[in-house]
Structure 1
């Protein structure tokens, strides 16, 4: 019989909290943690198997756990769990549920203290084995998400390497299957690009790469401009929250037909390459469905003979040049007129077609992995409060 009984106590009764310390100025392979995760690496450690909680600033209340040696910096608080009373991972997931940022003090600079954390009232399962079973369910979901992210990163490196070989180093396969430039393929100097490029290739303005479009914001005071089941309305903040992913389907808000008319918005088709054009410049994603954006974008609709695959990496490869071409005193922004006139190296159509054929399976696999992770994250976030609050039990089999 599984005992699902709960007990109430102070967080400080089962976790010993301490402040981190200024991290050492040396290199190594031991991670240095701050409130936002890994800051760097050292050859020294001050804790192992510990909770790491953001202490101050934007990441105040963020929660991490590391089960090996690490250095915890002074902008984080360390938590050492009493393993006689509680399981490390169980407490980690409990803290994730507590919204610690809302328990901080200070208006302009949020702050958490050891005293605040000590005195938080918590409710936990009495049975340590139940705690471990719950932690196992949740951590298995996180492990699958992490594995998908690792595979996705490897696929991204493969795709980026192919692009670089073909369109930066010009070692695409020639008619004999050999690397073009390295095998003596004919190169000509291009006056616009100020470099040698393969014969038959040419310099073109980004206006030829795709239809460059911007967005806008409808009147936010009118609630009818937004709705639950409208068109996704993407902001740079949405792309910031989407970092680590290549694709995006939704943002924080959806816009209604009234909102589209109010802001005179254009609806972009699936596979549009989104690029934030200010605050900051350079966040990117490919739309999985129809979307609109606010005014912080210059996006590329792939309707001029170049695929979203080629557009995505061409813009990424040119990002430093795009940023250098931006202007503005308060914050930098790249204008549509300037962006359209920047030049890229345009390959022959057969090379583009061969690249698309080679790369599209990688993009498809990445898209599937991202969709899996979204589903796994939703499942974890659904189960987390129900398991931790005792609304859902665990079976005897899981408790073995």
Structure 2
């Protein structure tokens, strides 16, 4: 057994970002729960920042419990709130990353934090973390790297699929250029539009306006679960946008009061809290959620008609819905919407033919999205299960 300091050092090389077109990583765009990174919404124009290279490990310095970590696949500059751990030998970068990906590392890091409001890592404490001195370091690193790359690929595929559904939704239900009976764009081809007093705008003839609380294509799911022996409870914190973590096993008798919502087929869920963008689409292939899961009452669920599921899903992920939800949120400590507030969120109800056609076109897209979400969940479970076994030699990787 060795220490991290035997395998790596902190990068102290600073480069000026002035005038450079450089890849920048701040602590805010390293995703929690070991999910990698997202594009940075802020890139500074001036100042000196820590240089990192491919196979360096970037660790969020604020709140180790957030588990913000990324194995760099390119070079760039990092903010002061990101620790750049540089392998002494780049070929061991993946192996070091595999060790730091282990939950035991983040538990260890929390033991040495400084500060209570914004706990920061103790750099010396981090460097004293124990790293097994095994023979097959590169194999272990490559194996974990392969799993993570598969997870990243699924996420990229889902990003592209979601962009497709958003474009279709906008084209059909915002611009009203859905295909008419002749396959031509409805509004652009002169389709009849009728002025709606409630919306103060024109909508296609035969369409109507209802509310999210009371409409003909979905229904609010009430709290309550059937008696069970053991299930997996997913709190709102277990959902990151559309990604699902492992949750926690609970018994019916001792579950917390919030563990009281039952996921069902063709249901769409969103977090009720203000500024909390969390969505779940329960398709037929999500058996683990339907048969083995329960959700927090921090979610609101909509049971959809078979042909309206994709339309409701697209509506819930639209900017209009999130804006309306945030405006209607209220509360003394934590602002959120309740079911009655949904009576003030209008939703367009298309004619049956248009709704059916949208369902037919997007059904396979949503099934692929949820299939990738389920696949990632299994990959993460496999990775987190095998990782400690690989590191302590209980499991080996054959050629």
TM range (shorter): 0.7 to 0.9
Three-state SS of the structure 1 residue aligned to 2:185 is coil
The yes-or-no answer on 1:269 pairing with 2:272 is no
Q: Partner residue of 2:236?
A: 236
8 Å contact from structure 1 (residues 61, 112) kept in 2: no
8 Å contact from structure 1 (residues 22, 73) kept in 2: no
Three-state SS of the structure 2 residue aligned to 1:116 is helix
Give the TM-score of the pair, scaled to structure 2: 0.81
- Higher Rg of the two aligned structures: 1
Cα distance change of structure 1 residues 72 and 233 upon mapping to structure 2, 3 Å threshold? same
8 Å contact from structure 2 (residues 270, 300) kept in 1: yes
Cα distance change of structure 1 residues 144 and 293 upon mapping to structure 2, 3 Å threshold? closer
What CA RMSD, in Å, does the superposition of the two structures yield over aligned residues? 3.3
Cα distance change of structure 1 residues 371 and 296 upon mapping to structure 2, 3 Å threshold? closer
Report which structure shows greater RCO (CA 8 Å, sep ≥6): 1
* Correspondences of 1:297-336 after superposition (within 5 Å): 297-303=299-305, 307-317=308-318, 318-336=321-339
Give, in angstroms, the shift of residue 258 of structure 1.
8.3
Give, in angstroms, the shift of residue 121 of structure 1.
3.1
> Number of residue pairs matched?
371
Query: Partners in 1 of 2:360 and 2:332 — Cα distance?
Result: 43
* Correspondences of 1:1-400 after superposition (within 5 Å): 8-18=1-11, 28-34=21-27, 37=30, 38=37, 39=40, 40-41=42-43, 46-49=51-54, 50-57=56-63, 62-83=68-89, 87-97=92-102, 98-100=104-106, 101-106=109-114, 108=116, 109-125=118-134, 127=135, 130-206=136-212, 207-208=214-215, 209-215=217-223, 229-230=230-231, 232-240=232-240, 243-245=241-243, 251-254=247-250, 256=252, 267-278=262-273, 280-287=275-282, 288=286, 289=290, 292-303=294-305, 307-317=308-318, 318-395=321-398, 398=399
Three-state SS of the structure 2 residue aligned to 1:68 is coil
Gaps of 5+ in 1: 1-7, 219-224
Give, in angstroms, the shift of residue 342 of structure 1.
2.2
Three-state SS of the structure 2 residue aligned to 1:56 is coil
CA deviations over 1:244-299 (Å, ceiling 9, x no partner): 43xx6974344527869x88956452222111112554421123316654332322
Give the TM-score of the pair, scaled to structure 1: 0.81
Query: Partners in 1 of 2:89 and 2:279 — Cα distance?
Result: 44
CA deviations over 1:358-397 (Å, ceiling 9, x no partner): 11111122222222222222222222122222222333xx
Gaps of 5+ in 2: 31-36
Three-state SS of the structure 1 residue aligned to 2:169 is helix
Query: Partners in 1 of 2:397 and 2:260 — Cα distance?
Result: 49
